Amino acid sequence: MAQLFHRSANAVARFTIFGGVFLLAGLGYVGWIFAHSSFMTGENVYLKQPVPFSHDHHTAGLGIDCRYCHTSVEESNFAGIPPVATCMNCHNIMWKREDMLAPIREAYAGGDAIQWSRVNDMPDYVYFDHSIHVRKGMGCEVCHGRVDRQPLIRQATSMQMAWCLDCHRDPGKYIRPREEVFTMGYRPTEDSRSMAERLLKEYDVNPGTDCGVCHR
Amino acid sequence: MKTDRWARSLVATVSVLISMAAFTGCADMKDQPHHEPLEYSSFFADGRSSRPLVEGTVARGHLRADDRIYRGLEADGSFVAQNPLVVDAALLSRGRNRFEIYCTPCHGRVGDGQGMVVQRGYKQPSSYHIDRLRGVEDGYFYDVITNGFGKMSSYASQVKPRDRWAIVAYIRALQLSQYADLRSVDAAIGARLEAGEVIDTRRHDAEGEEEHHGTGH
């Protein structure tokens, strides 16, 4: 019986067997990149909002504290989205005829709410509480980035589990004094590691990495 | 033989479909059928999942019956003259903290009505350092925070009753800081001040604590 394959087919067979390993690895790599891409995590993605509210202008420009609007961040799991009445505290005079603010004025007059697009949305199977993080000396900026430099707000981090665990395993990397939690651009004035050791003890920081800490 | 092959490919197809369904199932778990605070709901006509309370609703243990604390009013409807909370360092420091969040944008850090929003064109509020406001009752400030005044809106939804009283205490401290009377200090120190000497109050307080240790000063 004649040979079915030419001798060169051996090389092809060897190449495809070994090449398959690289092909699979390559596919895995592509998958990994895809799973960590901002397309999947939402990191750095700007969402369309009904009113182009600028955190940059209101915090860095005017010096308004985060808690002026996010009133429940210190005592609730939810930081709080201000009602339009809060906007009208100033905008009953400031820029009161600006077209950009028309949705706010109309909602206020009609007793309606503005339907903002949610930027930071934890998956529903994750338990997250703002108040405990604030109490334990985690600055807003650690998770939300330099809000004072974001004209439009975006999700500043991947918010994937590995990101949560990075801090839960070693909170000393990010801890700061409670008085500085709402400060943007905080730089430690003392040696950061010894300060971290002191604060971890003082605030009794013990985040834990058991599944049940967050998936409860 | 042929049916065997058909069966096998059928099993393969079905298992692939099931695993795909399982993965979409995972995606759904990120957004489970319950409402997060303030989330949109198509169920209610106004689109809100957080329902407004029926007027007059009082949660158990949250009845605000004490008019002096919650309205700043005496039984006869006049303003409470003195802060009903114990004014101590803790209350003052809380007051300062809340004041600098909610009040400084307009009133400024020393209460002169020169806050950043005013500098950008908002109607200037009265300075706290005028005779009229030095003369009003504590309850008056509480009432203004709670119900607003002139162009100032109510801050009741942003500042809780106890924090409002803390702010009132801090406003009093601010007023004192700009209107201290020479007669209210020690005669010896008064004389030094009148001679034009500058006294570092922080250092003086530290010395004073040592001197007056145990005398209840």
Q: What is the arithmetic mean of pLDDT over A146-168?
A: 94
Domain range enclosing B113: 67-179
Q: Output DSSP code: residue B102.
A: H
What CATH number is attached to the domain comprising B168? Answer: 1.10.760.10
- Give contacts of A124 with chain B, Cβ < 8 Å: 29-32, 34, 36
**Radius of gyration for chain B, computed over Cα atoms and rounded to the nearest angstrom:** 31
Domain range enclosing A19: 9-35
Residue pLDDT, tens place only, B4-14: 778 878 887 78
CB spacing of A94 vs B40 below 8 angstroms: no
Q: Do A144 and A124 belong to one domain?
A: yes
For residue A153, the distance in angstroms to the closest alpha carbon of chain B comes to: 19
Q: Output DSSP code: residue A179.
A: G
Q: Do B189 and B125 belong to one domain?
A: no
Q: Do A109 and A206 belong to one domain?
A: no
Nearest chain A residue to B38 by CA: give it.
A81
Q: Do A97 and A191 belong to one domain?
A: no
Q: Is position A188 within any domain?
A: yes
Q: Do B164 and B94 belong to one domain?
A: yes
Q: Do B162 and B206 belong to one domain?
A: no
Mutate to test the interface with A, among B28, B29, B101, B123 (most CBs of A within 10 A): B101
- Spell out the SS3 assignment of A128-175: CCHHHHHHCCCCHHHHHCCHHHCCCCECCCCCCHHHHHHHHHCHHHCC
CA A141/CA A185 separation, integer angstroms: 8
Q: Do B188 and B173 belong to one domain?
A: no
Q: Do A192 and A203 belong to one domain?
A: yes
Q: Is position B50 within any domain?
A: no
Question: Taking 80 as the threshold, does the pLDDT of residue A186 lie above it?
Answer: yes
Q: Do A138 and A203 belong to one domain?
A: yes
pLDDT confidence of residue B207: 53
A170 in reach of chain B (CB within 8 A)? no
Q: Do A107 and A93 belong to one domain?
A: yes
Q: Is position B48 within any domain?
A: no
Tokens 């500042």 identify what position?
Answer: B159
B143, A102 Cβ separation under 8 angstroms: no
CA B119/CA B127 separation, integer angstroms: 14
Contact residues, A window 56-85, toward B, CB-based 8 Å cutoff: 62-65, 67-68, 71, 78, 81, 83, 85
Q: B149: which strand partners?
A: B152
Residues of chain B by 3-state class (helix, strand, coil), percent to 5 = 50, 5, 45
**Any residues with CB less than 8 A from the CB of A171 and at least 6 apart, and which?**
A136, A138, A200, A205, A207
For residue B29, the distance in angstroms to the closest alpha carbon of chain A comes to: 7
Question: Taking 80 as the threshold, does the pLDDT of residue A9 lie above it?
Answer: yes
Q: Give the burial class of A119: count Cβ atoms within 10 A of its Cβ; 0-12 exposed, 13-18 middle, 19 or more buried.
A: middle
CA A132/CA A138 separation, integer angstroms: 9
Q: Do A109 and A63 belong to one domain?
A: no
CB spacing of A90 vs B105 below 8 angstroms: yes
pLDDT confidence of residue B55: 92
Q: Is position A46 within any domain?
A: no
CB spacing of A123 vs B151 below 8 angstroms: no
Residues of chain A by 3-state class (helix, strand, coil), percent to 5 = 50, 0, 50
Q: Is position A193 within any domain?
A: yes
CB spacing of A65 vs B101 below 8 angstroms: yes
Q: Do B134 and B99 belong to one domain?
A: yes
pLDDT confidence of residue A166: 96
- The maximal CA–CA distance of chain A, rounded, in angstroms, is 97
Q: Is position A44 within any domain?
A: no
Q: Do B71 and B167 belong to one domain?
A: yes
- HSE-CB for A196 with a 13 A CA cutoff: 13
Q: Do B121 and B186 belong to one domain?
A: no
Q: Do A76 and A164 belong to one domain?
A: yes
Q: Is position B161 within any domain?
A: yes
pLDDT confidence of residue B214: 39
Q: Give the burial class of B171: count Cβ atoms within 10 A of its Cβ; 0-12 exposed, 13-18 middle, 19 or more buried.
A: buried
Q: What is the arithmetic mean of pLDDT over B143-161?
A: 96
What band does B217 get if pLDDT is binned at 50, 70 and 90? very low
CA A122/CA B31 separation, integer angstroms: 9
For residue B188, the distance in angstroms to the closest alpha carbon of chain A comes to: 38
Q: Is position A49 within any domain?
A: no
Q: Do A23 and A126 belong to one domain?
A: no
Q: Do A151 and A132 belong to one domain?
A: yes
How many structural domains compose chain A? 3
Q: Do A72 and A166 belong to one domain?
A: yes
- Distances from the Cα of B108 to the Cαs of A98, B114, B146, in angstroms? 26, 5, 19
How many structural domains compose chain B? 2
- Give contacts of A67 with chain B, Cβ < 8 Å: 101
Q: What is the arithmetic mean of pLDDT over A61-89?
A: 96
CB spacing of A63 vs B105 below 8 angstroms: yes
Q: Do B147 and B201 belong to one domain?
A: no
% of chain A at pLDDT higher than 90:
84
Residue pLDDT, tens place only, A105-121: 999 999 999 999 999 99
Q: Do A177 and A70 belong to one domain?
A: yes
Which pairs with CB-CB distance under 8 Å and at least 24 residues apart come from B35-42? B36/A78, B36/A124, B37/A78, B38/A78, B38/A81, B38/A113, B40/A115
